[in-house]
Amino acid sequence: MNIEKISLKICGITNSKSIQNAYKNKIQSLGFASNNLEGPNTVNDSKIKNLIKECNHYKIESVLLTKNFSLKEIIKQIGFVKPKTISCSHHFKNQELKKIKTTFKKLKIGISINPESYDRKYIKSIKDSVDIFYYDLNVYKKNKIKKYSLEKNLEQIKFIKKMSIPIYIGGGINHDNVKKIIKFIKPYGVDVSRSLKNKSNTISNAKLKKFLSEMCIA
């Protein structure tokens, strides 16, 4: 399996330099974490809106990560920020997702799932309204990250793959383990953040090139 068959999304983008470096390396998807989320590298909606405008200039897909619990508020947020895709940490009901879909006809809807929020019944109930699943092996709490192993959660991932909907795998992925994840999971894409950045939370060209080379030979 080579890089042409695996999508790479880089998450937690907070500055213009990262977008420029992503463009130079032909990265097609960048994630922006709303400050309604727990976890690192969150930014306010006004900044996300401006960064997404830059993504549009470079024709890079923008993904808004959000944990709005209110349908009214998430519709308002999407309308303001204008992402190409959303990743919802709150698990909206199927009818609510359909409302989002009819409001923003070109928007791709993603649902974020982790080992603690995984729910088979829910996943089956929304499969007709969802474009992407984002499965994160990390669970973010206030000021800490709880990490889960890939091996212990394979059954969850396999079940999601049965829905025949693209799935991204994230959580502690780096150049040392990406080959293993691609080999065993064969996901649509991988979702990476801190392992590709420097101390200023900017995408590092050197780290990214090394990671891409590992993806190529996976």
Q: What is the pTM of this model?
A: 0.94
- Does 218 have pLDDT greater than 50? no
CB 65 within 8 A of CB 83: no
What phi and psi, each to the nearest 5 degrees, are found at residue 121? -60, -45
What 3-state DSSP class applies to 31?
A: strand
How much is the pLDDT for 184? 87
Q: What percent of the chain has pLDDT over 70?
A: 97
C-alpha distances out from residue 96 to 15, 65, 83, Å:
32, 17, 18
- Enter the CATH code of domain 3-216: 3.20.20.70
- For the segment 145-158, what is each residue's pLDDT rounded down to a tens digit? 899 999 999 999 99
Q: Tell me the mean pLDDT in the region 159-184.
A: 94
Q: Could you give the residue ranges of the DSSP H alpha helices within the chain?
A: 16-24, 45-58, 71-81, 94-103, 120-126, 154-161, 178-185, 205-216
- What span, in angstroms and rounded, lies between the C-alpha atoms of 116 and 138? 10
Where do the domains of the chain lie? 3-216
| Mean pLDDT of all residues in 200-215 | 94
**pLDDT tens, residue by residue, 16-61:** 999 999 999 999 999 999 999 987 899 999 999 999 999 999 999 9
Residue 114 near residue 148 (C-beta atoms within 8 A): yes
Please report which confidence band the pLDDT of residue 141 belongs to, taking 50, 70 and 90 as the band edges: confident
Mean pLDDT of 57-68: 97
Q: According to the model, what pLDDT value does residue 2 have?
A: 44
User: What does the alpha-carbon distance between residue 85 and residue 102 come to, in Å, rounded to a whole number?
Assistant: 14
Burial class (CB in 10 A: 0-12, 13-18, 19+), 30: buried
pLDDT of 3 > 50? The answer is no
Tokens of 51: 């960064």
Mean per-residue pLDDT of the chain: 94
Paired residues of 133 in beta bridges: 111, 167
So what's the pLDDT on residue 215? 85
How high is the pLDDT of residue 19? 98
User: Does position 1 have pLDDT exceeding 70, yes or no?
Assistant: no
Helix, strand or coil, per DSSP, at residue 56: helix
Q: Are 189 and 166 in contact, with CB atoms under 8 Å apart?
A: yes
| DSSP of 124-179 | HHHTTT-SEEEEESEEEETTEEEE--SGGGHHHHHHHHTT-S-EEEESS--TTTHH
All residues at 6 or more sequence positions from 48 whose CB lies less than 8 Å from its CB, including other chains:
32, 34, 64, 81, 83
